[in-house]
Amino acid sequence: MKNTVLWSALFTLIGTQVCAEQTPAPQAPAAPTNTSAPPASPASEPMVMQPVAPQPQQPNQAIPTAPVTAPAPAPVINCDYKIPPQVKTVDQALVLTWSQNAVKQAFSFDPASLDAQMQKLQACFTEQGWTGFSTALQKSGNIQAIKAQQLTVTSQIEGMTLVNEAKDNQWKLTVPVMVIYQNEKEKVSQLLSVDLTVNRKPNGDLGITQMIAAPRGTVSTKKPAQEEPANLGNQPPLGKPQ
């Protein structure tokens, strides 16, 4: 700031001396002449550079983002599917899917884990329905045949499931299913028409009250074996379709 004032004062003194040298000999009085130097314009003033303190660089900061929540997986509709008892109306599409999965589970067995499968299958039935189903399964001799012949039983839905009646939390359905019995010697595919009656349990879940399976046809495929497998109870003998 002091340098700026000194430069301005020096510029004024130089301007005054120039005006004095150009003044002629004394003459008649004339209008006074302003000998003061014009104020220096900002452009003519010397620029004084002020040191600029370096600004510390801020580290890059990540912008916080809201966490992304993955959508919950859709529940599996099987015999363990829970329906609260306060739910008074059950969607018919849910009943249809549940019934198809229950039928497939009721006709799927592995000789190595048969007892555990039977215990798990109980969840598909009401108390009354399980008593009737397990008793019929034992009397048919199928349990003994599965263990003795090391039969693997699988099933799949073959056709359209029909809802024949639906009222007061009770549904009557017909499920077409193919059941496949096989071991190292032979494979038999049997078509069944399974009539179901499904009700609500006291805890609100679905359960089979009655199951009736009627054969629709049997297809046998011989494997290279010499022995004749034993009869599957009320099922047609393996290798001898009806």
pLDDT 10s digits, 118-149: 999 999 999 999 999 999 998 999 999 999 99
Q: Which of 28-32, 43-47, 164-168 has maximum average pLDDT?
A: 164-168
Of 41 and 65, which is predicted with more confidence? 65
List the chain domain ranges. 1-25+33-45, 92-222
- Report in angstroms the alpha-carbon separations of 119 from 80, 109, 125, 130, 202: 13, 12, 11, 11, 20
pLDDT of residue 50: 63
Q: Which of 64-68, 103-107, 108-112, 163-167 has the lowest mean pLDDT?
A: 64-68
CATH of 92-222, one of 3.90.1150.10, 3.40.50.300, 1.10.540.10, 3.10.450.230: 3.10.450.230
pLDDT at 14 exceeding the cut of 70: no
Q: What is the pLDDT at residue 217?
A: 73
**What mean pLDDT, rounded, does the chain reach?**
77
159 — alpha (psi -120 to 50), left (phi > 0) or beta? left
Is the CB of residue 107 less than 8 Å from the CB of residue 177?
Answer: yes
124 touches 210 (CB < 8 A): no
